[in-house]
Amino acid sequence: MRWVTYATDIGDRVGVIGGDRIHPLAPGVRLVELIGRGAEELRAAGEAALASAEPTVPLAGARLRAPVPRPPSVRDCLCFLDHMRNCQQATGSPRTLNDAWYRVPAFYFACPSTVVGPYDEVTISPGSAWFDFELEVAAVIGPGGRDLTPERAEEHIIGYTIYNDWSARDLQMREAPLAIGQAKGKDGATTLGPFLVTPDELAPHRRDGRLALRVEAKVNGTTIGSGDTGAMDWSFGEVISYASRGVDLVPGDVFGSGTVPGCCLVEHLSLSDPAAFPGWLRDGDVVELTVEGLGHTRQTVRASAAPYPLAPRHDPDRRPPRPRVNRAPSKLPYTRGLHEVGPDVWAWLLPDGGYGWSNAGLVAGEDASLLVDTLFDLRLTAEMLDAMRPVTGRRPITRAVITHANGDHTHGNQLLDERVQIIAAEATCAEMRHEMPPEMLTATQVVDIGPATPYFRERFGAFDFSGIRLRLPDLTFDGELTLDVGGREVRVMNLGPAHTAADSVVHVPDAGVLFAGDLLFVGCTPIVWSGPISHWIAACDRMIATGADTIVPGHGPVTDPDGIRAVRGYLTHVVEQADAAHARGLPFGEAVKAVDLGEYAAWLDAERIVVNLHRRYRELDPATAPELDQMTLMTMMAERALS
């Protein structure tokens, strides 16, 4: 038999399925009470309902709840060891499991109060950027028991249902070092349903004491994983027997199987190839799980409000980070916020100019404004747009120029009004399409990557990468573009590739202001992701040639043409040092150690010399420097900074 609990105007009802109809039991009957009487009484109650003259309910039109909406307890077991191996590999660890996994049928407790039905919407755990599903099946206890053998434990299973263990992977990883079990990473929601299917219905699917049910998981119609529950390493009988040691199991207790290998998102994660990852769940995504004999669930994921922040406690054992002070001279105070840098032209500054602390700009005309870049996360961008409102309330933003593809200049695009036309170079748009998904940057905050971990935590820990949906440009250009902003001429020029595949600058001639994007780092070290370096040096010359005397860099304080000359000098120094090392036959790794930064050693993030030397070595002879992915280069920078 297949049993359901469904919602009515007068409360939940319990029913048994006959064909495509629900045959209800008397009002007030709860399935958890009924199953506690055992299989025979459950069958008798079902047969009576099927024979009753009570009006039936179309199954297709019913709002199904979880079969047991509030179980006494929910234990999620880890019966599929391949799932654990896959998870370890995905997060950069070896696939070899600790010996304890082979000796103990592990489980953890989930939250009974957050159980949801098979078609209910599910809210992303607050603060999570890595929200995931997990396809499992669950066994539900009928009559209780204690100190059960595996054989007896199987007899206490009254039925099975689909189980979706919704998981906030980033929160889970944050909590893992505590080594006290699952917490906020796992208690956001658990789906049960649509039916509680009695064991006799599934008898044809039994193989060697296990249910062998075909399963499939889809997101937005695309299959993420499929498999067979017959691959369980630990059987339900074994995990229930283990859980019952010295403990009274009661009717309605739920035991999840653990994830069928491949049927979740985290197993498809690769830190070395993040672009291949299908992406974490976002607002509006639809997750469908199908299990042979147990039915189908279909649920829409919804965004959540930001969590209330909690200040960390003082750690007396933590070595304080090295002081970070941007010592570059500035034309005006280098403080966080909006600064007028010319007539009706403003710069939004975020000290100290390191990773993610980028600048943006606003140019206002008679009845319209142009925004130059957004920021690294939604909170920072919202703060900036609010501060600009005294200007943009009267002269609204109608266009936004994105100087290049990096997330600290694009992640806030979604907060712009849909009527705002976003403009970028064609190569910037192309690069944005292939950029690492914004939420993947959460790895810098939660994944243990060995000795380099403190570096990543320090550089990226202040940002919130949840909820970001990358909004691409509406209009692209090649070369140059002239805009009319409320009667003012604004020139946009792509001077890349250099820092990235395309690097645009925004020149406001009547104000003598140039927004340089990341072609200019002031007081902090440039990083050549794309190159060639010679192209960046030429871009410096072209910026100086504009005649602008106020320069807003992508990172660092507002400067003048001398700030451009300083960056040009650094890039020239890199070329000289790299070429000399290459001429001496030094391998790339040795050249990194041997380079003399001279006066540029005092610039913030001087360890970026690793990437810059690598780029120059690749330009000179690719055979002398292997192609390295961004994560490997970042780790090498971290090692240099911490040495």
Q: What are phi and psi of 381, to 5 degrees?
A: -65, -40
- Cβ within 8 Å of residue 41, ≥6 positions away: 34
Residue type for 325, please? V
Residue 332 lies in a domain: no
| pLDDT at residue 6 tops 80 | yes
Residues 165 and 37 occupy one common structural domain: no
For residue 342, the surrounding DSSP H or E stretch is strand 337-342
Task: Show which of 302, 322, 357 is a domain's final residue.
Answer: 302
CA-based R_g, the chain, Å: 30
Q: What are residue 361's DSSP bridge partners?
A: 347, 372
Residues 166 and 210 occupy one common structural domain: yes
Out of 327-331, 336-340, 414-418, least confident range: 327-331
Residues 403 and 528 occupy one common structural domain: yes
At residue 321, the pLDDT reads 80
Residues 269 and 398 occupy one common structural domain: no
CATH number of the domain enclosing 456: 3.60.15.10
The tally of domains found in the chain comes to 3
At residue 277, the pLDDT reads 87
Task: Show which of 27, 58, 89 is a domain's final residue.
Answer: 58
Residue 574 lies in a domain: yes
Give the torsion sign (CA, 139, 143, 145, 151). Answer: negative
The span from the first CA to the last CA of the chain, in angstroms, equals: 66
pLDDT > 90: percent of the chain: 87
Task: Show which of 254, 279, 302 is a domain's final residue.
Answer: 302
The pLDDT mean for the chain works out to 95
pTM score: 0.89
| Cα 626 from Cα 421, distance rounded (Å) | 40
Residue 69 lies in a domain: no
pLDDT > 70: percent of the chain: 100
pLDDT category of residue 623 using cuts at 50, 70 and 90: confident
Residues 34 and 111 occupy one common structural domain: no
Q: What are phi and psi of 480, to 5 degrees?
A: -130, 155
| pLDDT at residue 284 tops 80 | yes
Residue 528 lies in a domain: yes
CATH number of the domain enclosing 143: 3.90.850.10
| Cα 213 from Cα 467, distance rounded (Å) | 35
| Residues 252/68, Cβ–Cβ less than 8 Å | yes
| pLDDT at residue 274 tops 80 | no
Q: What are phi and psi of 318, to 5 degrees?
A: -85, 130
| Residues 287/133, Cβ–Cβ less than 8 Å | yes
- Cβ within 8 Å of residue 592, ≥6 positions away: 609, 610, 613, 636, 640
| pLDDT at residue 520 tops 90 | yes
- Cβ within 8 Å of residue 70, ≥6 positions away: 32, 112, 113, 115
Residue 308 lies in a domain: no
| pLDDT at residue 545 tops 90 | yes
Range of the domain at 246: 74-302
144-197 pLDDT per residue, tens: 999 999 999 999 999 999 999 999 999 999 999 898 989 999 999 999 999 999
pLDDT category of residue 582 using cuts at 50, 70 and 90: very high
Q: SS3 of 151, please?
A: helix
Residues 123 and 240 occupy one common structural domain: yes
At residue 272, the pLDDT reads 72
Residues 452 and 521 occupy one common structural domain: yes
At residue 448, the pLDDT reads 83
Residue 80 lies in a domain: yes
At residue 518, the pLDDT reads 98
- Cβ within 8 Å of residue 313, ≥6 positions away: none
At residue 209, the pLDDT reads 82
Cis peptide before 120 (omega within 30 of 0): no
Residue 323 lies in a domain: no
Q: 367: how many CB neighbours lie within 10 A of its CB? A: 12
| Cα 215 from Cα 360, distance rounded (Å) | 49
| Residues 208/287, Cβ–Cβ less than 8 Å | no
Residue 325 lies in a domain: no
| Burial of 522 per CB tally in 10 Å (0-12, 13-18, 19+) | buried
Residues 608 and 490 occupy one common structural domain: yes
Out of 51-60, 498-507, 551-560, 624-633, least confident range: 624-633
Residues 250 and 364 occupy one common structural domain: no
Q: What are residue 298's DSSP bridge partners?
A: 288
Residues 283 and 357 occupy one common structural domain: no
Most confidently predicted of 177-186, 327-336, 517-526, 590-599: 517-526
62-112 pLDDT per residue, tens: 999 999 999 999 999 999 999 999 999 988 889 999 999 999 999 999 999
Residues 174 and 214 occupy one common structural domain: yes
Residues 54 and 78 occupy one common structural domain: no
At residue 320, the pLDDT reads 84
